[in-house]
């Protein structure tokens, strides 16, 4: 009886450890949650202009993962007038609150530096 209890506890500890390791690996694969950072970019007036077919835009979106939903984004194939008004010539183009712009892909670190938003620790 005592051996059964001990073995049960050992097996439960091993399963718990395996689940813990799996959880940590899964979290590392997903990277940091960028929701707060993406929302900060929006709050600071940074907007990305792009097109669904643009590979550089897709790369830019991938940097944010699911947090891209919080980024202020204008799809130029759907909002042509707005993109013309902003004189968008290439994709992606970021326009900031101070009127400055960045054409092409930009790192999250550079976005943080430009806006004052804080990136989460990896």
The neighbouring-strand residues paired with 94 are 48, 102
Using alpha carbons, select from 53, 82, 70, 51 the residue that is nearest to residue 111: 70
What's the farthest any 2 CA atoms get from each other in the chain? 79
> What is the pLDDT at residue 29?
42
Residue 122 resides in a domain: no
pLDDT of residue 9: 67
pLDDT tens per residue, range 1-17: 777 777 676 676 666 66
Same domain as 99, residue 71: yes
Q: Looking at the structure, do residues 45 and 24 belong to the same domain, yes or no?
A: no
For residue range 68-95, list pLDDT tens digits in order: 999 999 999 999 999 999 999 999 999 9
CB-CB contact of 58 with 105 (8 Å): no
Kindly report the CATH number assigned to the domain that includes residue 83.
3.40.30.10
- pLDDT for res 66: 96
Q: What is the pLDDT of residue 14?
A: 66
Number of domains in the chain: 2
pLDDT reported for residue 15: 66
Is the domain of 1 the same as that of 49? Answer: no
Tell me the pTM.
Answer: 0.74
Domain span at residue 1?
1-29
- pLDDT of amino acid 13: 67
Answer yes or no: is pLDDT of 21 > 50: no
User: Which residues on adjacent β-strands are paired with residue 50?
Assistant: 75
How many helical (H) and strand (E) elements, i.e. helices and strands, does the chain have? Answer: 5, 4
């Amino acid at each position: 009886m005592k051996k059964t209890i001990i073995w049960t506890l050992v097996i439960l500890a091993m399963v718990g450890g395996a689940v813990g390791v799996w959880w940590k690996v899964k979290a590392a694969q997903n990277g940091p949650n960028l929701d707060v950072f993406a929302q900060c970019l929006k709050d600071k007036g940074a907007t990305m202009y792009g097109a669904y077919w643009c590979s550089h835009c897709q790369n830019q979106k991938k940097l944010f993962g699911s947090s891209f939903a919080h980024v202020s984004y204008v799809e130029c194939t759907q909002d042509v007038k707005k993109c013309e008004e902003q004189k968008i010539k290439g994709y992606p183009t970021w326009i900031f609150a101070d009127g400055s712009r960045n054409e092409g892909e930009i790192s999250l670190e550079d976005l943080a530096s430009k806006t004052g938003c804080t990136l989460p620790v990896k």
